[in-house]
Amino acid sequence: MDAAGSQVADECAQYGMQYQNGFITTRGGNLLCSKIIHLITDNQVKSQVSKVLHECERRMYKSVAFPAIGTGQAGQSSAKVADEMLDAVVEFARQKSVQHLQTIKIVIFQTNMLTDFYESMKKRKDSNSSTMELWLSMLKSFLGGRKQSSEKKKFMILEKKVDLVTFQICGESQEKVDATESWIKDLILKEQFENTISDEAIESFDEAQIVVLEALQRRKQVTIQLLNKLSPPQIKISGISRDVCSVSLAVQEMIQEIKSTEEEQSKAELLHNLVEWRYPGSNDSFVAFDKLTNMQLERAKMAKKLHLNVKIKMKNYQVDLNTLKATDDQGRTMNLRRVIKDEGK
């Protein structure tokens, strides 16, 4: 309040008994902001943050900065406050009605709280907050609690932009800023992992597999590179360790599915050279089944099954494997042929 100036203090005194929804709004005074929203402490941090966010959206504000609410005289746990504040921000960001509020900052002066907020953010790695930009501003005080005027503080700001979060590090010297940056990088790198999958089957990835890879990349905190010009082709997955592992398993399943399909096609091709199943066409001619259906029919007969359901000209038929008669849903029948191919043909 001292930094904001007497004008803000006078407004608080004037409007103090007129607050609604647990807060009052004053001008910014000497602070570098247009408005200050003063909260009436009730220990319901999530509710208070949510109310402020909706008030900012209603007033069409573009940005808002919060302190770590309730961690001062209210004595609330910083871990609990971190969870409640970030819960409120995430829920707000997911609302499709949000149009104006674009930047949310949480300002932390106490270094011991950084870990609690970092751990709380880690819990939300799978959350999709692409509807807005979430900023966490970490302001580290190196003054040992001493009060100094803002004019005497010469902060050096270093910004490192990542996908979801921008860290703003402020300090008295470049050395202290660099040390804090290094600490943050170490935390991030501990969560990073890269996995490369090499397999000839990757060359067979088509549009369907590409769509799946794109969906995985959107849902998970990973980057996927398809290096299909290498020999053998590779897929490189990098990002948060847990997500890299789950995406790698999904890619391996895709590769195995392609291999299984190619193996079945190879077997079907081989079997088609030995035996060919046919159904009646036009003008007393017979048409060969596709190779996979041909293999299914032959396998079923070799296994001495009685019936097999197949499709003929987009209609469902049940084939009697003893009489070689196919019957559709209306009871109409047709005679199939099973032709053993001579060697050399």
Whole-angstrom CA distances from 325 to 173, 233, 251, 306 are: 88, 47, 43, 11
Cβ distance 207 to 161 under 8 Å? no
pLDDT at 233 over 60: yes
Instruction: Single out the residue of 163, 253, 235 nearest to residue 194, CA to CA.
Output: 235
Average pLDDT over residues 128-144: 37
pLDDT > 60? residue 75: yes
Tell me the per-residue pLDDT of 20-46, one tens digit each, with 9 for 90 and over: 667 878 887 777 788 888 877 777 888
Q: Under a CB-based contact definition with an 8 Å cutoff, are residues 103 and 133 in contact?
A: yes
287: Cα separation from own chain's centroid: 49
1 CB-contact burial (10 Å; exposed 0-12 / middle 13-18 / buried 19+):
exposed
Sketch out the chain's domains with CATH numbers: 41-190 (3.40.220), 193-271 (3.30.1370), 273-340 (3.30.720.50)
Report the candidate in 173, 86, 178, 95 with the shortest Cα–Cα distance to residue 135: 86
- Sequence-separated contacts (24+) of 88-93 with Cβ below 8 Å: 88/45, 88/46, 88/47, 88/49, 88/50, 88/53, 89/49, 89/53, 89/134, 90/124, 90/127, 90/129, 91/50, 92/50, 92/53, 92/54, 92/57, 93/129, 93/131, 93/132, 93/134
In this structure, are residues 136 and 106 in contact, taking their beta carbons and an 8 Å threshold?
yes
Average pLDDT over residues 138-148: 35
In contact, 277 and 336? CB cutoff 8 Å: yes
Closest CA to 157 of 174, 135, 145: 174
pLDDT value for 279: 95
Amino acid occupying residue 345: K
Q: What is the mean pLDDT of residues 307-336?
A: 94
